[in-house]
Structure 1
Amino acid sequence: MQGREMKAEADQLTSQIIATYSVGATVQTVLDRLLAKITSEEYPLNTRLPSERALASELGVARNTVREALDVLEARKVINRRPGSGSFVTYRSDDVPERGESSVAMETSPLDHLVVRGILEPEMVRLAVINMTPREVWDLEQLMSKIESVHTDVAAFVKCEEEIYRKIAEGTHNRLLASCYNLTIEACRVSFRTTLLRRHLSPKRILEYQQRYNALFNAIASRDVERAVEFIKLHLVEEQKLFLQD
């Protein structure tokens, strides 16, 4: 009976992941194998997983395939990656699905995420241009300098992006809008986007993103509403292209 319960638990978790993430058949096979080991506690809580190389050898797949599967597990909070240390199991068999904002973020599809960003971000930027104080503009400039110092570290780049968007949302001085956008950031963190960026964010593309954000900042700092809104719309188009090409 216990074996059946573990299999049912693994199947349920797999179904939740499939509903949220679009992955290839080989990646899905790796996910199935890893989830089975985690939910059966062959890899119990806080256990360090074998290295990507070891898993690739064991499962007979490429390291990139293993890395993509681990990306999904990390986004779903089944594992936690620690730079220089490895990947550790954070999944608990007695975990109760969270309700409220975190649950909504996890259940948001890639398309829904892009749709909401398309609705919120242009208006958010417009209000920020109008309402940001000189101090807030200065704070945003410091964040721009911070993201410009990132060249290859995808995790650091994504974290800087979150800080920039959060600062712009705060700059609207509309607490409801900022609260809504915080949920969008959370959905972005646990959704497909980080996985996409790990695959596609080359140093060249990082530079392109940095140039876009710099142009956006210049428009905000000069209080040019029309130009700032146009920049964020163009950036959203590029984000959609990234999603569609995957």
Structure 2
Amino acid sequence: MDLPPFPKPSSLEEALRLQEALAKRVRLEGSLEGVKLLAALDASHKRGKPLVAVAVLYHLERGPLFVGQGLVPEEALFPYVPGFLSFREAPAYLQALKALPEAPEALLLDGQGIAHPRGLGIASHLGVHLDLPSVGVAKSLLYGRLERPLPQEAGSAVRLLSPEGCPLGYAYRSRTGVRPLYVSPGHRVGLEEALAFVKGLPTRFRLPEPLRLAHLEAGKALKALD
């Protein structure tokens, strides 16, 4: 894939300005119906090692096809600051995507979409940067509140709201009794459409299968650096 370079801000203030500008370009409309070729992305890092990112090229009818990998040395990483992790992880994600033999139709990321204090989590940031439909599936809540308690049954979903009451996505129970996932649209997909897409993905455990594979591959790639 031929991808545009990712800007590296020189300060937190510059990163904040970039986030605010890019958040205005997020489009919360569109459907992922008909998408077959997906890139599922996850990253892993341990102090003293490079940050490792993987992109699993996943065909929704045939399963995983290829794994791309990206590495960024620890000394080259943007500082770890909650709410600004896309500046830290995105350069490695772009390397991983460049390694894929085919361009995906959409992105699925371990992280937030618009469920972010400035409306620009990693799924939104990469989606806007690459102009691709994107969805964030996070394992923990970064921003917002649940509209009501989430039932324990598999398939249950409750809207995630901003402090002002604006919808940001959904808390989603993928399997009965497991901890919820937080699904939010990244770019070029609507809120309900993002949830419908994640619900439609094969899910054997807590994470949708494409993202579970990306998580496992990122862990293996990091361990291989030891």
TM-score grouping bracket, smaller chain normalisation? under 0.3
Higher CA-based Rg: 1
Determine which structure has the larger strand proportion and give its number: 2
Normalization by structure 2: what TM-score?
A: 0.27
Determine which structure has the larger helix proportion and give its number: 1
Normalization by structure 1: what TM-score?
A: 0.25
